[in-house]
Structure 1
Amino acid sequence: MTALTPGDELPPTLPHYLRPGLRIVFVGYNPAIYSAAAGHYYARPGNVFWRQLNASGLLTRVCGPEDDAMLMDEAGIGFTDLCPRPTVRAEELTTAEIAEGAARLYRELIESAPRYAVFSGKGIYQHFARHALGVPAAALAGRPYGAQPERLSRDGTPPAASGTVPYVVPSSSGLASKWHAERQTFLAVLAELLRDGAGSTQR
């Protein structure tokens, strides 16, 4: 499904599943061609997103890509991407698209104010933090996975002392299999934080 040739029409982008009151919003780079054509997030069989989400303790039933829209009401989980344009590889995105996407994503997260914004990869968060929050690249270098020190302010002034917590986990792509075990651990930690009530947006 990803073998595009010149002149092929790209599938439409995925809808952004966001609303106020969510526990988590998962943030991807941009829709893969396969997922965009399927109409659901992380739909490619080689992507471990749903398998690891089911094992994380964040859900009460086994879910798959077809459940993405329903999870807002069922589990307080939403989905969005840094950039909306489907591509075969994230490297195909332009600098302008990334900057525009970071600004749009910031507005989305401020308006929906989830407790955690979970970025699927360090690169995604680095783009977002640099373009939307003004964090210098040097300050982002060497950052570990997990909760980041920045907070997304509801009054629109970045960064803030309280607000949505950015939380970074390794990518779920099949190309990132080296880090999948670590990703599962960070999802389990996130589930525990939510059970304990940590990371409140202080709304």
Structure 2
Amino acid sequence: MRPTRPEVAAAYGRTIPDLIAPGLAVLFCGINPSLYSAAVGQHFARPGNRFWPALHAAGFTDRLLRPAEQPELLDRRLGITNLVARATARADELSAEEFVAGATILEAKVRRHRPRFVAVLGVTAYRAAFGRRLAVVGRQAEMLAGAGLWVLPNPSGLNAHYQLPDLARAFEDLRLAAAAS
């Protein structure tokens, strides 16, 4: 059931539990939850978000999953977390300090759960969190607590720089690397 506008507005500042377990192949790391996602308690749930279609088009899933089916990702050794836990209407409401703190928290999660790869979904957020102002989409030279590190485009429907086929190709590059390791 879709949340009402007041329910979405009331989700400001809420968090969504991580979808994480030891030994994942890939831990996807969003910027922060949207108000819609926080209202329904599911990652990448806002209509128009292209995370789920990109995941499927890249071959990570054999069918298009709905946000409510996110627990099925763990069976595929995939997980989801966020750089910043609190929900906002827009990512530009987050401070530089929140991004830097989020990188430290993410590193601790990676040390604890040991995924093979971490994929940060948004190059601007990655740059802010990790102090890599020249970073580009793709595999990064450095590792994060022993995990391979990727930057993928932000799958938000508001990201006009990447259409679904472009997103799918970027996600597929990661899937192929994870399958080969």
Same fold by TM-score, threshold 0.5 exceeded? yes
CA shift for structure 1 position 10: 2.7
Corresponding residue for residue 57 of structure 2: 55
Corresponding residue for residue 121 of structure 1: 122
Deviations 1:51-104 (A, max 9, x none): 1111111123431101222311x1000000001110001111123322222211
Q: Distance in 2 between matches of 1:192 and 1:101?
A: 27
Q: Distance in 1 between matches of 2:10 and 2:70?
A: 27
Q: Distance in 1 between matches of 2:105 and 2:155?
A: 23
Q: 2:11 touches 2:38 (CA, 8 Å); kept in 1?
A: no
Q: Which runs of 4+ in 1 moved over 4 A?
A: 1-4
Could you say what the CA RMSD is over the residues aligned between the two structures, in angstroms?
2.1
Corresponding residue for residue 136 of structure 2: 144
Corresponding residue for residue 169 of structure 2: 185
Change (3 A) 1:14 1:179: same
Q: 2:31 touches 2:82 (CA, 8 Å); kept in 1?
A: yes
Unmatched runs of 5 consecutive residues or more in structure 2: none
- Are positions 1:91 and 2:92 aligned together? yes
Corresponding residue for residue 77 of structure 2: 76
Q: Distance in 2 between matches of 1:172 and 1:9?
A: 21
Q: 1:11 touches 1:37 (CA, 8 Å); kept in 2?
A: no
**Partner AA of 2:30 in structure 1:** G
Unmatched runs of 5 consecutive residues or more in structure 1: 131-136, 154-162, 198-203
Taking structure 2 as the reference length, what is the TM-score of the superposition?
Answer: 0.88
CA shift for structure 1 position 11: 6.3
Corresponding residue for residue 101 of structure 1: 102
Q: 1:58 touches 1:191 (CA, 8 Å); kept in 2?
A: yes
Q: Distance in 2 between matches of 1:195 and 1:24?
A: 10
Deviations 1:145-191 (A, max 9, x none): 111001123xxxxxxxxx20111111111111331232211111222
Q: Which moved more, 1:59-68 or 1:169-178?
A: 59-68
Change (3 A) 1:9 1:179: closer
Higher RCO (CA-CA < 8 Å; seq separation 6+): 2
Q: Distance in 2 between matches of 1:17 and 1:52?
A: 18
Larger Rg: 1
Q: Sequence identity of aligned pairs in percent?
A: 32
- Are positions 1:66 and 2:68 aligned together? yes
- Structure ranking higher in strand proportion: 2
Q: Distance in 2 between matches of 1:173 and 1:30?
A: 11
Taking structure 1 as the reference length, what is the TM-score of the superposition?
Answer: 0.79
